[in-house]
């Protein structure tokens, strides 16, 4: 048997480590063995066992350090409870707009099917919505929660809801051919009227005296007394094709209606006559209409992807057609439109799932609000122009805050690109824009609406002085065919 080679001499550093290990082993594992014997035994141990001994020492030191760590006032133990976190502020949600056009909004969920109509009420502190799920809801505009669910039975899809100017009464139309009146404060059903035909649209007058319904089969409008439900006017075959929408003017004396036949009609309740007819007003079916707060202008939205503004006060459309055509705002059919109270802003919704905000005076789109995942069916704007409300086929509504829209970089960039300068009308105090490159820009001191009103007044005066007869009740614009 061959003899083993002699062990290599230990260096002083290794010897110190070994002695330290031996001392630790003596203290922990072998307290009864003499120190000299333990040292002699350890030197004869193989290298693997010596390494194990050093590893044991490191383990013991680590355990000791862990036990002593809580004694350090600056040390945070892993076993101690985590420090109390301060509540973080809720993150604001933003829409799917372009990078420079972020607008804060709230998503309002509560309906289980397409939201068909929405409108502000109670001084913009509340708003109404109705849906094809057969429900009518009153919401808190500040917190975004439902205040009341109206007991709308049977659960037929609700097509439209509108509210009086004093926010006391609500009118709804549903697919079961019924029109209902509700008390907004109590939620009580006041009365119900059933028709024999489908109801395409239904509105209550601002003063709460009348209710108008657009009826499908008869292509008629029916105006009735809101108190006793007696019929005031029933105009059958008012249009050549099915009606799509109707609305009252702010004075509650006129009713505008639009149709699939591309025409616009305005009916006067007092004289029981059609005041005007505009045929071929659009290239496609007209989907909706709304008056300005003054009642001098009417906006129509169409499946031809455009909106048009008509001067129905002076009859100027008879010679020159619409006074403004708003284009390149939607990539699909325009479903709805609504003026702000001061007429400076127009809001529209479309089947392209967007909400467009228009500068009415200059006729350009300020901003496109994106975020809905399906058609935008209806829009509304608050009286203070701070909030825009949109309803959609995606079963939700969105409440957009547009208070600082003119501070958005994309809007500023658009104005600069168009060369627009903001001024204030000397007549109505409304802000309006004109082009800085226009050599007459400094002489223009009135907004487009006051200028058109002044022009219409001069035309009427000159016509009366010339002995000309007033225009007939029905006329089609030649320039817009």
- Supply the DSSP string of 57-113, one letter for each residue: HHHHHHHHHHHHGGGSTT---SSSPPPPPPPPPPPPPB-S--TT---BEEEEE--SS
Greater confidence (319 vs 157) lies with 157
pLDDT at 479 over 50: no
Instruction: Supply the pLDDT for residue 449.
Output: 67
Determine contact, residues 355/400, Cβ cutoff 8 Å: yes
Q: What percent of the chain is predicted at pLDDT more than 90? A: 58
Distance CA(255)–CA(396), nearest Å, equals 30
From the list 422, 404, 441, 435, the residue with the least C-alpha distance to 102 is 404
Residue 383 has pLDDT above 70, yes or no: yes
DSSP-derived secondary structure letter, 441: G
The string of DSSP letters for 124-189 reads TTEEEEEETTS-EEEEETTT--EEEEE---S-PPEEEEEE-TTS-EEEEEETTTEEEEEETTT--E
Q: Which of 19-23, 69-73, 321-325, 470-474 has the lowest mean pLDDT?
A: 470-474
- The tokens describing 136, both together, are 């009518």
Give the pLDDT confidence of 258-278 residue by residue, as tens digits. Answer: 999 999 999 999 999 999 999
Each residue's pLDDT tens digit, 178-235? 999 999 999 999 999 999 999 999 999 999 999 999 999 999 999 999 999 999 999 9
Among 51-55, 83-87, 275-279, 315-319, the least confident range:
83-87
Average pLDDT over residues 229-251: 97
Structure tokens at 254: 């006129």
The pLDDT score that the predictor gives to residue 55 is 58
Dihedral sign, Cα of residue 42, residue 48, residue 51, residue 56: negative
Nearest partner of 153 among 103, 192, 122, judged by Cα: 192
Residue with tokens 């008629």: 220
Tokens of 201: 């649209």
**What DSSP string runs through 246-259?**
EEE-TTSSEEEEEE
**What pTM, to 2 d.p., does this model score?**
0.70
List the Cα angle 141/346/412 in 5-degree steps. 95
What is the distance between the alpha carbons of residues 480 and 459, in angstroms, rounded to a whole number? 20
Q: Which of 77-81, 426-430, 437-441, 455-459 has the highest mean pLDDT?
A: 426-430
């Amino acid at each position: 048997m061959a003899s083993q080679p002699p062990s290599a001499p230990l260096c002083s550093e290794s010897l110190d480590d070994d002695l330290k290990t031996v001392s630790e082993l003596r203290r922990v594992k072998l307290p009864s063995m003499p120190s000299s014997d333990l040292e002699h035994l350890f030197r004869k141990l193989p290298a693997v066992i010596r390494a194990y001994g050093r590893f044991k020492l490191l383990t013991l030191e680590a355990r000791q350090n862990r036990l002593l760590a809580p004694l350090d006032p600056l040390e945070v133990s892993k076993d101690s409870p985590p420090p109390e976190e301060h509540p973080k502020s809720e993150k604001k949600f933003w829409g799917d707009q372009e990078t420079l056009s972020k607008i804060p909004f709230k998503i309002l969920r509560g309906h289980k099917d397409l939201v068909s109509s929405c409108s502000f009420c109670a001084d913009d502190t509340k708003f109404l919505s109705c849906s094809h799920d057969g429900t009518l809801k009153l919401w808190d505009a500040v917190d975004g929660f439902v205040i009341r669910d109206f007991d709308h039975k049977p659960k037929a899809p609700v097509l439209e809801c509108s509210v009086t100017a004093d926010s006391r009464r609500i009118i709804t139309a549903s697919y079961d051919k019924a029109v209902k009146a509700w008390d907004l404060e109590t939620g009580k059903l006041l009365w119900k009227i059933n028709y024999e035909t489908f109801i395409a649209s239904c509105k209550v007058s601002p003063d709460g005296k009348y209710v108008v319904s657009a009826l499908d089969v008869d292509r008629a409008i029916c105006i009735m007394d809101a108190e006793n439900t007696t019929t005031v006017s029933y105009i059958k075959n008012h249009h050549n094709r099915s009606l799509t929408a109707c609305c009252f003017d702010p004075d509650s004396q006129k009713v505008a209606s639009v149709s699939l036949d591309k025409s616009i009609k305005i009916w006067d309740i007092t004289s029981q006559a059609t005041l005007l007819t505009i045929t071929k007003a659009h290239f496609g079916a007209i989907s909706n209409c709304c008056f300005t707060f003054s009642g001098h202008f009417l906006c129509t939205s169409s499946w031809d992807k455009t909106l048009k503004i008509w001067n129905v006060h002076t009859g100027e459309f008879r010679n020159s057609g619409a006074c403004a055509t708003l284009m390149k705002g939607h990539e699909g059919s325009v479903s709805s439109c609504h003026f702000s109270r001061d007429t400076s802003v127009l809001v529209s919704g479309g089947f392209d799932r967007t909400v467009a905000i228009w500068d009415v005076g200059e006729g350009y789109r300020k901003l496109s609000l994106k975020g809905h995942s399906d058609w935008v069916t209806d829009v509304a704007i608050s009286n203070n122009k701070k909030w825009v409300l949109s309803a959609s086929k995606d079963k939700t509504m969105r409440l957009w805050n547009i208070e600082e829209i003119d501070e958005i970089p994309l809007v500023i960039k658009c104005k600069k690109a168009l060369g627009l300068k903001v001024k204030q009308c000397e007549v109505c105090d409304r802000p309006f824009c004109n082009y800085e490159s226009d050599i007459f820009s400094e002489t223009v001191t009135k907004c487009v609406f006051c200028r058109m009103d002044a022009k219409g007044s001069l035309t009427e005066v000159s016509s009366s002085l010339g002995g000309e007869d007033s225009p007939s009740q029905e006329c089609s614009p030649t320039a817009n065919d």
